[in-house]
């Protein structure tokens, strides 16, 4: 089954001029779903609102993917509403809404549909902006050829906006990047962009806390900021190769299943995993936040 097979003409409302706020948006979506699938409108509305209150991301300042889950419901509903004007939604504004409704237990098809919609949004920005009709949207979705039976893979939930460190860079330089980009973790790569290890803030703190300190049971005598003063003095001289952790425990292939990803993260107590291709080149990062937002609370 393909994503396009779930999106019919009657499930698309194009360039609506009446919807002016999020409440009206959810009411209209609930009405459309109830009429097409003979469901209770109030239950659908309540389900959408329950998820909405947990927070939603806005993609590219225009797109949103509201979703909900219903009890005693074993199907997957996808409907699309395009408003003529942007409306306030969550913490931003949007005018293109892809609604999903599934069961409380969820399904692989639901997660694949969610990942597929995100892929369509991110891979067709200009085409989506220039669409003139619902028919053109359906053609675009058909051309994406997204299959819902295939298992969800790491590549579909990973972040591709990655920053990497190299062994010869200074810790000071890396900390500046981490601060500017709000990062806690960076893969370390060689000249071929192949993964050779990882660097996170705890690794960097090794500069401030020499190994002999961890042999002591009580550090109360360190009642000043001397350790951090030493750290600040050294950060321009210490290189990444002096503090990063080498090895492949924090790597997973892009085509690994989500089940394997969860197992690896749990077994190794990892919050971040670097994603590599078949040649060990770094192509993404997946975090526990990604698992939470895109799987557990998708």
Domain with residue 284: its CATH number is 3.10.580.10
Instruction: Clarify whether residues 90 and 176 are in a common domain.
Output: no
Domain assignment present for residue 182? The answer is yes
Q: Give 162's DSSP letter.
A: -
Instruction: Clarify whether residues 91 and 175 are in a common domain.
Output: no
pLDDT of amino acid 112: 83
CB 78 within 8 A of CB 37: no
Can you tell me the distance from the alpha carbon of 234 to that of 204, in angstroms, rounded to the nearest whole number?
A: 11
Q: Which residues pair with 147 in a beta bridge?
A: 2
DSSP helix/strand/coil, 158: coil
Q: What is the span of the domain harbouring residue 29?
A: 3-150
Domain assignment present for residue 161? The answer is no
Instruction: Clarify whether residues 209 and 133 are in a common domain.
Output: no
* CATH number reported for the structural domain that contains residue 75 in this entry: 3.40.930.10
Can you tell me the distance from the alpha carbon of 252 to that of 264, in angstroms, rounded to the nearest whole number?
A: 8
Instruction: Clarify whether residues 189 and 280 are in a common domain.
Output: yes
Instruction: Clarify whether residues 191 and 109 are in a common domain.
Output: no
Q: Which residues pair with 96 in a beta bridge?
A: 63, 82
Domain count of the fold of the chain = 2
Domain assignment present for residue 160? The answer is no
pLDDT of amino acid 195: 93
Q: What is the pLDDT of residues 66-110, one digit of tens each?
A: 999 998 888 889 999 999 999 999 889 999 999 999 887 766 778
pLDDT of amino acid 216: 57
Domain assignment present for residue 276? The answer is yes
Name the stretches of the chain with pLDDT < 50: 225
What kind and span of H or E run contains 189? strand 185-189
Q: Which of 116, 113, 110, 62 is nearest to 90 (CA)?
A: 62
Instruction: Clarify whether residues 200 and 242 are in a common domain.
Output: yes
Domain assignment present for residue 159? The answer is no
Instruction: Clarify whether residues 176 and 143 are in a common domain.
Output: no
Domain assignment present for residue 165? The answer is no
Instruction: Clarify whether residues 200 and 61 are in a common domain.
Output: no
Instruction: Clarify whether residues 190 and 276 are in a common domain.
Output: yes
CB 24 within 8 A of CB 45: no
Domain assignment present for residue 38? The answer is yes
Instruction: Clarify whether residues 139 and 202 are in a common domain.
Output: no
Can you tell me the distance from the alpha carbon of 252 to that of 273, in angstroms, rounded to the nearest whole number?
A: 7
The tokens of 193 are what?
Answer: 């962009």
What kind and span of H or E run contains 132? none
* Sequence-ordered list of residues with C-beta below 8 angstroms from that of 225, at least 6 positions apart, any chain: none
Domain assignment present for residue 140? The answer is yes
Q: How many CB atoms lie within 10 A of CB 220?
A: 6
pLDDT of amino acid 236: 82
pLDDT of amino acid 23: 96
Domain end residue (candidates: 150, 180, 201): 150
Instruction: Clarify whether residues 138 and 211 are in a common domain.
Output: no
Instruction: Clarify whether residues 75 and 203 are in a common domain.
Output: no
CB 170 within 8 A of CB 235: yes
């Amino acid at each position: 089954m393909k994503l396009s097979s779930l999106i019919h003409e009657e499930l698309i409302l194009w360039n609506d001029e009446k919807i002016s706020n999020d409440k009206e948006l959810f009411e209209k979506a609930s009405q459309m779903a109830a009429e097409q699938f003979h469901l209770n409108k109030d239950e659908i509305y309540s389900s959408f609102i329950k998820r909405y209150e947990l927070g939603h991301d806005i993609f590219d300042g225009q797109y949103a993917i509201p979703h909900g889950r219903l009890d005693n419901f074993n199907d997957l509903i996808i409907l699309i509403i395009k408003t003529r004007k942007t409306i306030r939604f969550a913490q931003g504004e949007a005018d293109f809404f892809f609604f999903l409704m599934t069961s409380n237990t969820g399904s692989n098809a639901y997660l694949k549909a969610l990942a597929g919609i995100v892929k369509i949004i991110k891979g067709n920005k200009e085409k989506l902006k220039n669409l003139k009709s619902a028919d053109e949207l359906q053609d675009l979705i058909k051309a994406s050829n997204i299959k819902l039976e295939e298992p969800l893979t790491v590549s579909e939930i990973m972040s591709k906006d990655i920053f990497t460190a190299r062994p010869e860079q200074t810790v000071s330089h890396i900390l500046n990047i981490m601060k500017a980009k709000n990062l806690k973790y960076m893969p370390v790569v060689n000249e071929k962009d192949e993964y050779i290890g990882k660097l996170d803030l705890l690794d960097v703190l090794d500069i401030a806390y020499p190994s002999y300190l961890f042999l002591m049971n009580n550090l109360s005598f360190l009642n000043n900021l001397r350790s951090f003063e030493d750290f600040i003095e050294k950060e321009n001289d210490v290189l990444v190769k002096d503090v990063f952790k080498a090895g492949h425990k924090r790597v997973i292939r892009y085509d690994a299943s989500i089940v394997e990803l969860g197992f690896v993260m749990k077994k190794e107590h990892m919050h971040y995993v670097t994603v590599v291709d078949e040649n060990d080149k770094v192509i993404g990062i997946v975090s526990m936040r990604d698992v939470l937002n895109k799987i557990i609370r998708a």
